[in-house]
Structure 1
Amino acid sequence: MAFSRDPLDELIVPDGTETQERDVVTDGDVLVGGRSTVEFGVRGRNVLAGEGAEFGGAIEADGDCRLDMWCDVAENVLVGQDAYIGERVHVGGRLKVAGDLDIGDDVEIEEGFEANGWIVIRNPMPTIVFLFVYLKHLLLIGEDDTAQQLVSELLEDDADDADTEPLVIPQNATVGDDAWRVSTPATIGDNCRLHGNVRAETIDVGTSCNIFGSLRARGDIFVGDGTRIHGDVTTRNGDVEVGADARVLGDVSCGDLELGPDAEVDGTIRAAGEITMGTTEREQE
């Protein structure tokens, strides 16, 4: 992850992320900002959620799981290493931890819990809040290398996973089968398969993705080579680029439109500006 700005000011969907039935599945970590609603369950390496985050399914973390106060998980929480559960968290199923469990007051776990390591009942530090406040401070004083080192130590299990970006869901976001709705930019990596309309400030979709929904942004939208968008692509004040061999199975509405070689738009094109065909701006660069 690049830390040139607030780490939670963008929806980041890393390469290979998929929505499988009722879960979002990724190879790396999952970071969920405070007061966000994830209508899916999540499966990843380490799962960290800020204050008041809600999950509509189960959480499965191969590594650690950290849930700050007032989080709500509709189903089970299964943790491969250690768990840190803040006060007043609600778990609708069972909490099962392979390592140590650090748990706060007034936690409700409807089907009970078990941990193979130590169990400490107290009020754990709100990890997400501390982590990102500290990171923002480091960035403000120009300590980019220190910030990167901190994140590497907290979020990476070993050197083999060092290049795996986390799935980042910003604060106050809503992610579900109906829509991935954020008030920030959205970046979707390569080879992703997602269900739901994407609503963001700007949208950048990588190569060879399948998005089963529409794209709508205030600013620019980019669709990578070989990607399929099963819906409309609409921007209020920006331009649209559609990469080579990409296909939009719906309408396109934008300012300027650039279509790469063999790109297709099945619906109606409404472009207030110019339409360029054959080469996208990124290919020219």
Structure 2
Amino acid sequence: MSLRGDGPVEELAIPSGTTVEEHDLVVDGDVLVGGQSTVELGVRGRNVAIGERVNVANDIEAEGDCRLDTWCSVDGNVLVGEDAYIGERVTVTGHLMVSGDLDIGDDVTIEDGFEANGWIVIRNPVPTIVFYFIVLSQLLRVDETDAADELAAALADGDDVRDPLLVPRSAEISDDAWRVSTPATVGDDCRLHGNLRAESIQVGERNEVFGSLRARDDVTVGADTVIHGDVTTRGGTVTIEADARILGDVSAGDLVVYDGAEIQGTLRARGEMKLIQEANRGTEDEGGVESGDPDDTADGDTDPDGDTDPNDDEDSEPDDGADSDEGANPDDGSASGEDGESDDDPAGEETGSDDDSEPGAAPVDASVAEATGETATVEPDTGTGAADSVDREP
């Protein structure tokens, strides 16, 4: 695969689980480096593809295939687990060892010699992806769909699909800094060395970066991530997720910090600064639907849950017009106290206050009323009857 020109690599993508060990960049999946880049680290991955005019300052170890495009230079050894494709005018200062076939171009310099267990073809190699497309197209043209399926399965090798390490064109990667002119994305569970410089930066969860983050646009630091340095953006938004740790200063246009984040340095924001507490949102929402105070329930025409009962037939309580005895039984025909009231009057005429009473409310049992915060009451008789027979105090 030729990586000259802009190509498909439009961002720095560091997959999950990537680590920097000693002076090597270790990846579980494939490694794809764009043209005219400088990598001052060794590279270890499954399949390694290096674009044209790329300088690699240490060894390259590939479990699968390895391709070095034209004018590449490797300051170290190249160890390949399967097949190797070496383009024209490639320079390897160390040893080249290939377990499979070796396809090598013209004017290649290998200072310490090479070994290959398979076929050795000296020519300008055809790009691998082009060769695969040619074979598949020919098989499909002659209706050999079964053979095409077998070839596709062989190319996949039955392995799980893993995200590759993508390095864009003209990138600089070293122990000191990772510099790209494109957006940068870091997966989860990574351990990186060096300051990260990009157009925008998005760091996943549970990472540890021994360096600072600087971008022109937005910067996002995921949960449980530790940044051993400053986080800076010129005019974008810096977002610090929960439980993230920044061992330095934070400077941004707008700043969003979630609850639980730890920032040991200073916070600077030219625009808005937001502190978000997600845990309190649900509590506030639940508190908004709670019932009112029991005293308010007792004064109004509401049930203990704070809702008005439209099926009540009698007044709930008079306030000041009549003082009924606390032990009055609404089932009896009369009640003792200052104002006796009859239970048989269908008119439901109120004698209490005008603010809380409602005509047609059913009498409430005193024992139940004490439990619910309401006061028992009975309805007065408008005629001459039980109300006249009640003994009154002089």
TM-score range, shorter chain: 0.7 to 0.9
In structure 2, what is the equivalent of residue 158 of structure 1?
157
Give the deviation of 1:97 after TM superposition: 0.2
Q: Unpaired runs of 5+ in structure 1?
A: 135-152
Give the secondary-structure state (helix, strand or coil) at the position aligned to 2:206: coil
Letter of the 2:45 partner, please give it: G
- The change in CA–CA distance for 1:154 and 1:270 in structure 2 (over 3 A counts) is farther
Deviations 1:74-93 (A, max 9, x none): 10000000000001101111
Letter of the 1:198 partner, please give it: L
In structure 2, what is the equivalent of residue 111 of structure 1?
112
* Distance in 2 of aligned mates of 1:161 and 1:96: 26
Give the deviation of 1:255 after TM superposition: 1.1
* Distance in 2 of aligned mates of 1:58 and 1:6: 25
* Distance in 1 of aligned mates of 2:127 and 2:277: 49
Residues 86 and 126 in structure 1, CA contact (< 8 A), matched pair in contact too: no
In structure 2, what is the equivalent of residue 212 of structure 1?
210
- The change in CA–CA distance for 1:154 and 1:211 in structure 2 (over 3 A counts) is farther
* Distance in 2 of aligned mates of 1:15 and 1:123: 35
Give the secondary-structure state (helix, strand or coil) at the position aligned to 1:184: coil
Give the deviation of 1:154 after TM superposition: 11
Give the deviation of 1:161 after TM superposition: 2.0
Deviations 1:203-226 (A, max 9, x none): 000000000000000000000000
Give the deviation of 1:197 after TM superposition: 0.3
* Distance in 2 of aligned mates of 1:167 and 1:157: 18
* Distance in 1 of aligned mates of 2:128 and 2:167: 16
* Distance in 2 of aligned mates of 1:81 and 1:206: 33
Give the secondary-structure state (helix, strand or coil) at the position aligned to 2:159: helix
Give the deviation of 1:101 after TM superposition: 0.1
Aligned pairs for 1:17-56 within 5 A: 17-56=18-57
Aligned pairs for 1:185-200 within 5 A: 185-200=183-198
How many corresponding residue pairs? 255
* Distance in 1 of aligned mates of 2:188 and 2:263: 20
In structure 2, what is the equivalent of residue 138 of structure 1?
none
Q: Unpaired runs of 5+ in structure 2?
A: 1-5, 134-151, 282-394
In structure 2, what is the equivalent of residue 226 of structure 1?
224
Larger-Rg structure? 2
Aligned pairs for 1:22-171 within 5 A: 22-126=23-127, 157-162=156-161, 164-171=162-169
- The change in CA–CA distance for 1:94 and 1:6 in structure 2 (over 3 A counts) is closer
* Distance in 2 of aligned mates of 1:226 and 1:100: 45
Letter of the 2:177 partner, please give it: A
Greater RCO, CA 8 A, separation 6+: 1
Give the secondary-structure state (helix, strand or coil) at the position aligned to 2:196: strand
Letter of the 2:37 partner, please give it: S
* Distance in 1 of aligned mates of 2:52 and 2:46: 20
TM value normalised by structure 1: 0.85
* Distance in 2 of aligned mates of 1:57 and 1:245: 36
Residues 68 and 127 in structure 1, CA contact (< 8 A), matched pair in contact too: no
Residues 244 and 261 in structure 1, CA contact (< 8 A), matched pair in contact too: yes
Give the deviation of 1:265 after TM superposition: 1.0
* Distance in 2 of aligned mates of 1:126 and 1:52: 16
User: Among 158, 170, 173, which residue is 1:172 paired with?
Assistant: 170
Residues 190 and 208 in structure 1, CA contact (< 8 A), matched pair in contact too: yes
- The change in CA–CA distance for 1:26 and 1:267 in structure 2 (over 3 A counts) is same
Residues 46 and 155 in structure 1, CA contact (< 8 A), matched pair in contact too: no
Residues 178 and 196 in structure 1, CA contact (< 8 A), matched pair in contact too: yes
User: Among 252, 259, 262, which residue is 2:260 paired with?
Assistant: 262
Give the deviation of 1:155 after TM superposition: 11
Letter of the 1:88 partner, please give it: R
Task: Please identify runs of 4+ aligned residues in structure 1 that moved more than 6 A.
Answer: none
Aligned-pair identity in percent equals: 62
TM value normalised by structure 2: 0.62
Give the secondary-structure state (helix, strand or coil) at the position aligned to 1:161: coil
Give the deviation of 1:49 after TM superposition: 0.8
Name the one with the larger strand percent.
Answer: 1
Give the deviation of 1:126 after TM superposition: 4.8
* Distance in 1 of aligned mates of 2:157 and 2:117: 23
Letter of the 2:38 partner, please give it: T
* Distance in 1 of aligned mates of 2:190 and 2:203: 9
